[in-house]
Structure 1
């Protein structure tokens, strides 16, 4: 799934992305580390992988953030 980097904190290696419909989704350090990135700037296009929670209505959990390449 594609998204746009929205926020990123280099100290905690966590942040958020905006899905193409404008929905913000947060990610933690494990998702950032899984993508092998060293830095992320707001506005960059990224590819994310998510895991759906079994709780009804829960937001998807981001498991990987990496740069979108063509």
Structure 2
């Protein structure tokens, strides 16, 4: 699934993305580390992998990586 990077904290390696419908979804450091990235800037297109809905009803992100063509 594709999304757009929205927030990112380099100290905690956590942040959030915006799905294409505008829904914000947070990711944790494990999802960021799984993608092998070192930095993420707001506005970058990313590819995410998710698991079923989390406690708040949104998908739980398990991987964040840059979207490449």
TM-score interval, normalised by the smaller of the two chains? over 0.9
The 5 A counterparts of 1:25-40 are: 25-40=25-40
**After TM superposition, what 4+ stretches of structure 1 lie above 2 angstroms from structure 2?**
none
Give the gaps of 5 or more residues in structure 1.
Answer: none
Instruction: Give me the whole-angstrom Cα distance separating, in 2, the residues matched to 1:54 and 1:16.
Output: 14
Q: Deviation at 1:54? A: 7.3
TM-score by length of structure 2 reads: 0.95
Give the gaps of 5 or more residues in structure 2.
Answer: none
Higher strand share: 2
Computing the radius of gyration from Cα coordinates, the structure with the larger value is: 1
Query: Are the aligned partners of 2:35 and 2:63 in contact in 1 as well (CA < 8 Å)?
Result: yes
TM-score by length of structure 1 reads: 0.93
Q: Deviation at 1:53? A: 3.2
Please, what is the CA RMSD of the aligned residues? 1.4
Instruction: Give me the whole-angstrom Cα distance separating, in 2, the residues matched to 1:9 and 1:54.
Output: 21
Instruction: Give me the whole-angstrom Cα distance separating, in 2, the residues matched to 1:9 and 1:48.
Output: 17
